[in-house]
Structure 1
Amino acid sequence: MTSLGRVLENLKYYGWLTLGAIVSVLLLTVANALTPQLFRRGIDQGIAPQDLSVVLVTGALMVGVAIARGLFNFGQSYWSEAVSQGVAYRLRSQVFRKIETLSFSYHDQAQTSQLLTRITSDIEQIRTFVGTSLIQVISSVVTLVTIATILLIMNWRLALITLAVIPLAGALLFRFFGQNQPLFGQVQERLGDLNDVLRENLLGVRVVKAFARESVEQTRYTQMNAQLVAVYIKTLRAIRNTFPFIFLLSNLITLAVVGYGGAQVINGAFTIGELVAFNAYLLFILQPVLLIGFAAPVIAQAAASADRVYEIVDAPIEITNRPNAVPFTQCGGRITFENVWFRYPGAATPALQGVSFETRPNELIAILGRTGSGKSTVVNLLQRFYDVTKGAVRIDGRDVRDFDLESLRSRIGIVFQETTLFSGTLQENIAYAKPDASLDEVIEVAKLAHIHEFIRGLPEGYDTIVGERGVGLSGGQKQRIAIARTLLTDYKILILDDSTSAVDARTAAQIQADLDGIMKARTCSAFVIAQRISTIKAADRILLIDHGKLAACGTHEQLMRTSPLYGAILESQVSQ
């Protein structure tokens, strides 16, 4: 329940709305408390002595109280719903901000579907609790205290019989919470797993259809769906084992009140109006108990959801600015890897083992190696997507961990191997890192990336809307848009991570020739990660990475003479 307490701390940001809801609850309780007294007055002073004027006046007052109850009930619902929407807004923003700042190591291990479930379904569970269940519980507690006081004043003996239901129902609800809260957490876990299967099939629908695996995926989804339903059934069984006993208690108490109160009316110790009023109060005191009972599963669900949400909020951010971090503004071009070791979180073996090298100003460095050799890891450490396990990465002699993280990354342009495009126009995608860029600037970098002619041939040109994840564009077209996007940034260091792998060899050679000139003119240092040796022959130096180690270093000609591994890779590519 600690996480729910943290949720409720958000109410301080909506003080007036919360106050409006609480005032509405108090006024509604007063209106509810007056209604049975009007019944008593109408019966004892109007109907029994046959005084029509008292009956009419009492009826008018009851109409007025009914209208007031409707208004206060509306106010209670409106203000509480407004508060719940505000709390949900803050939580969604808080979780999204945290997801954006979490390190790559967290995202490497976190399931996307679970993150989506927590920021949508779990927060909706919390919103329902704040908007409905919380106000129900507050209203029920205020009503219980108010009505209990009135009953004790009217007839303390009969009141004690009535109030006996409260501790008994409370014990049942306490047992319900203690035994079943983990069960509601399992519901959200199973929902996340189901969403994971759905996400995979939506993203991989072409693969599913290409291999005619529709029936297999339907079976897998059905199985996950059945597991979710099974957990839901368990929660229903938990509710079944608790709430029928609460209903039974309420019925027994009603029977006892009617029997004992009726005997007192016959003996003249109680009037008929007082018995009717007391019976009406009995409904008012049983209703809060039932409302708390109905709110119990929602509270348990919200508590489990709050735990899941705050797991993200409280997740440690591994890559942060050091105290007194300095901005990265100038780059002389000397990038040094000093005995760098790195192991990915959860990995059994290091991705890099004792890698050491140093670049010279305006040098074009190519990084070559087989798949999984550690090529991309080298540049990931340069941008501090991860921090080294041992050793140091330096720029002009200063450890990259001493630089302000935002300024460091904003001055390093990178084109990833896997291209990601966002919803919007082609112009907006190219200008993603520089939204205020003019169309002329966008066209200039598009020409350098050899994508301008393609865009110009589209009916809408640069205003063409990009489909979801770039659907409708080829892999090569998406890569060239990504290259143009990076060239538009104010980079000092440029990294091309196998950025022309989806482009035909001729276009790749043209792009690489243009980029070579750009990198010489605009950068202090440049790195090209490649699979094909043909695209990196012109590099000033080639770093050959093998099983996380720097196996060789030199120009194309030097490596041809001295590195058997380099020769083997070249031979395998030529033979293809």
Structure 2
Amino acid sequence: MKNLIRAAAFLRPYAPQVIASLLTLLILTGLNLLIPRIIQAVIDDGLLRRDSAYLIRSALLLFGLGVVSALLGLINRYASEWVAAHVGYDLRNRMYDHIQYLPFAYHDHAQSGQLISRCIEDVRAIEKFAGSSIPELARFLLLLTGILAVMFSANAQLALVALLPMIPLIWMTANFGAKIGKLFFEVDQAVGEVSNRLQENVTGVQVVRAFAREEYEIRRFESANMDVFHKWVRVIDEWAKIMPTTNWLIAIGTMLILFFGGNMVMEGTITVGAVVAFNAYLLMMGEPAQALTGLVNAGGEAAAGAQRVFEVLDTEPDIKSGKEAAVLSVLKGEVEFENVSLKYQDEKIRSLTGIDLKVAQNKIVALIGPTGSGKTSLVNLIPRFYDATSGVVRVDGHDVRGVELTSLRKQIGIVLQTSLLFSDTIRANLAYGRPEATGEEIIAAAKAAQAHEFIIGFTKGYDTIVGERGVTLSGGQRQRVAIARALLMNPRILILDDSLSSVDTQTEKLIQSALDVLMEGRTTFVIAHRLSTVRRADMILVMDKGRIVERGTHAELLAAGGLYKEIHDLQLIQREEAPPDARPLPGEKPINENAIYASKSDSG
């Protein structure tokens, strides 16, 4: 319930519309309360006096009240649904905006399917409750208050008798409400799991089919779907227990009115019209009373949805710009790590330990080492994707924790191992970091990344729509677009995280020659497994188990005879032993040297 009350805060911007809706509902309730009174007068006055004119006037009055009530009902329904739609719109936007700023550590553990379910299904439950259930609940309370006032003012004794069945109804509804919220939370969790299974399967469809695991995935989805079914059945079971009882209690109320009211008529205490009016009031109250269980049902669903929504909204971003954060001007590109260590959430072993490094501006730093040695973890600290567990990371002498994030990240170009493109045009993907870039600048960046030729080969050229995550492009094409996207930002610091891993040898050479020119005048961090990619760096860092175990130039490290020389010799042996027909053809990815590191490290 407390989460529903919190969700009600989203109604605040629409207070005038909410008040207008409530006033309309108040007038509508008052008109409805007049109808039994008119029927009572028709029976007691019109019929007994055989006054046909009175009957006609009463019929016309009832018709007029019906028309006005219909119009007011239409206005009330439109206003309430309008407010609910805006609440849903605002809540979805708030969820999406908040998710954008949650740290990488949150997304490392959150399931994307659950997040999607919370943004769509749970917000929809709150929207539905605000649009339909809250107006119905307000109508029930107003109607109940009005009916009680009229009935007790007319005959308190008969009113008490008529309302006796309401006592168990209220108790049963309260008991039902206490159970249903927990049940709906379980349903929402199960629906989120189905959404997650579906999202994973769609994303990994190529892997599923490559391993012929369609039947296995079908069984997994069916299992999750069956869990939703069973949890829904539990909700239906509880709802089915109370629904018939509600109808039965209303019927008992009618019986009591007819019995005790009939005796009062025979005793001359009240009129026949009064008994009919009492019964009409009870039936009028019976309709929303019967709907009360449905309202509690919807309230339980909305409460569960609100709980899941606020679980996300209450997650404070660990990484954000402070109030006194310094806005960086154009960076020189100096980067420093001072005794930096990093341990990810829920991991026992540190990913980085005791990193001390100082990189001057415009220098090229290459990182090499076994898989899991901490290369990507190290560069992820520069744009502050994660915060160091201990130590300080500085850019141009500024602690990255004390600078405004946007001003920092806008000056860092990144090409990740897995190049993600959005389902949009190639032009839009290229200009993602600089939406204001001109067409000439976009083409220049594409040419520099050796992407221009294959782009103009498409029928629509730069206006070609790529599929979701860029699946309509080959791995090498996606990687070149990602490199062009980073270069278009003209960053002061460039991070290439194994960015040549998805291109063939010929394209690698073309890109490398372009990068040699483009890396001039900016600080560049290159993560690569091929020594041919890193040997021209100003400094090579050899990493193993989260530590920098060697550093120096290519010649210095070879002379030192450590891990770098071992890797170098293994790659030479691999190339010499590779048969001629194993050499990559144009457009193919060459042999991946990652395999030679597998025996060198147990760190990841």
TM-score (norm: length of structure 1): 0.97
CA RMSD of aligned residues (A): 1.3
Deviates more, 1:322-331 or 1:433-442: 322-331
Residue matched to 1:386: 386
Residue matched to 1:288: 288
Match of 1:550 among 529, 533, 548: 548
Distance 2:157 2:33 in 1: 20
Residue matched to 1:85: 85
Q: CA deviation at 1:496?
A: 0.7
Q: CA deviation at 1:548?
A: 0.4
SS at match of 2:367: strand
Residue matched to 2:513: 513
Q: How does 1:365-384 map to 2 (within 5 A)?
A: 365-384=365-384
Deviations 1:344-378 (A, max 9, x none): 11112111011111112211000111111111111
Q: CA deviation at 1:29?
A: 0.4
Distance 2:124 2:323 in 1: 38
SS at match of 1:341: strand
Residue matched to 1:301: 301
Residue matched to 1:20: 20
Deviates more, 1:362-371 or 1:284-293: 284-293
Identity over the aligned pairs, expressed in percent? 38
Distance 1:415 1:295 in 2: 52
Distance 1:112 1:337 in 2: 33
Distance 2:509 2:366 in 1: 15
Kindly indicate whether the alpha-carbon contact (under 8 Å) linking 1:144 and 1:288 is maintained by their aligned counterparts in 2.
Answer: no
Which amino acid in 2 is paired with 1:478? R
Distance 1:491 1:111 in 2: 32
Distance 2:210 2:147 in 1: 68
Which amino acid in 2 is paired with 1:496? L
SS at match of 1:413: strand
Distance 2:129 2:80 in 1: 10
Distance 2:406 2:414 in 1: 14
1:187 aligns with 2:187: yes
Q: CA deviation at 1:301?
A: 0.9
Match of 1:538 among 536, 539, 564: 536
Residue matched to 1:414: 414
Deviations 1:16-35 (A, max 9, x none): 22122111211110111011
Change (3 A) 1:95 1:344: same
Q: CA deviation at 1:267?
A: 2.2
Q: CA deviation at 1:399?
A: 1.4
Which segments of 5 or more consecutive residues in structure 1 lack a partner in the other structure? none
Kindly indicate whether the alpha-carbon contact (under 8 Å) linking 1:410 and 1:490 is maintained by their aligned counterparts in 2.
Answer: no
4+ residue runs of structure 1 moved beyond 6 angstroms?
none
Residue matched to 1:450: 450
Deviates more, 1:449-458 or 1:316-325: 316-325
Change (3 A) 1:551 1:408: same
Kindly indicate whether the alpha-carbon contact (under 8 Å) linking 2:366 and 2:541 is maintained by their aligned counterparts in 1.
Answer: yes
Q: CA deviation at 1:291?
A: 2.1
Residue matched to 2:567: 569
Q: CA deviation at 1:210?
A: 2.0
Number of aligned residues = 574
Residue matched to 1:216: 216
Residue matched to 2:197: 197
Residue matched to 1:362: 362
Distance 1:458 1:321 in 2: 42
Deviations 1:185-233 (A, max 9, x none): 0100000101111111111122222222111111111111111100011
Which amino acid in 1 is paired with 2:320? T
Kindly indicate whether the alpha-carbon contact (under 8 Å) linking 1:148 and 1:285 is maintained by their aligned counterparts in 2.
Answer: no
Kindly indicate whether the alpha-carbon contact (under 8 Å) linking 2:543 and 2:550 is maintained by their aligned counterparts in 1.
Answer: yes
Deviates more, 1:126-135 or 1:528-537: 528-537
SS at match of 2:7: helix
Residue matched to 2:593: none
Distance 2:332 2:304 in 1: 53
Which amino acid in 1 is paired with 2:283? L
SS at match of 2:469: helix
Kindly indicate whether the alpha-carbon contact (under 8 Å) linking 2:239 and 2:293 is maintained by their aligned counterparts in 1.
Answer: no
Distance 2:292 2:253 in 1: 18
Which segments of 5 or more consecutive residues in structure 2 lack a partner in the other structure? 575-604
SS at match of 1:470: coil
Distance 1:302 1:97 in 2: 21
Q: How does 1:215-234 map to 2 (within 5 A)?
A: 215-234=215-234
Q: CA deviation at 1:563?
A: 4.1
SS at match of 1:97: helix
Deviations 1:109-161 (A, max 9, x none): 11101100000000000001000011111110000000111011111111011
Kindly indicate whether the alpha-carbon contact (under 8 Å) linking 2:331 and 2:411 is maintained by their aligned counterparts in 1.
Answer: no
TM-score (norm: length of structure 2): 0.93
Kindly indicate whether the alpha-carbon contact (under 8 Å) linking 1:509 and 1:535 is maintained by their aligned counterparts in 2.
Answer: no
Q: CA deviation at 1:404?
A: 1.2
Residue matched to 2:153: 153
1:278 aligns with 2:278: yes
Distance 2:340 2:283 in 1: 74
Deviates more, 1:317-326 or 1:123-132: 317-326
Which amino acid in 2 is paired with 1:572? L
Change (3 A) 1:331 1:434: closer
Which amino acid in 2 is paired with 1:565? L
Q: CA deviation at 1:238?
A: 1.6
Q: CA deviation at 1:556?
A: 1.1
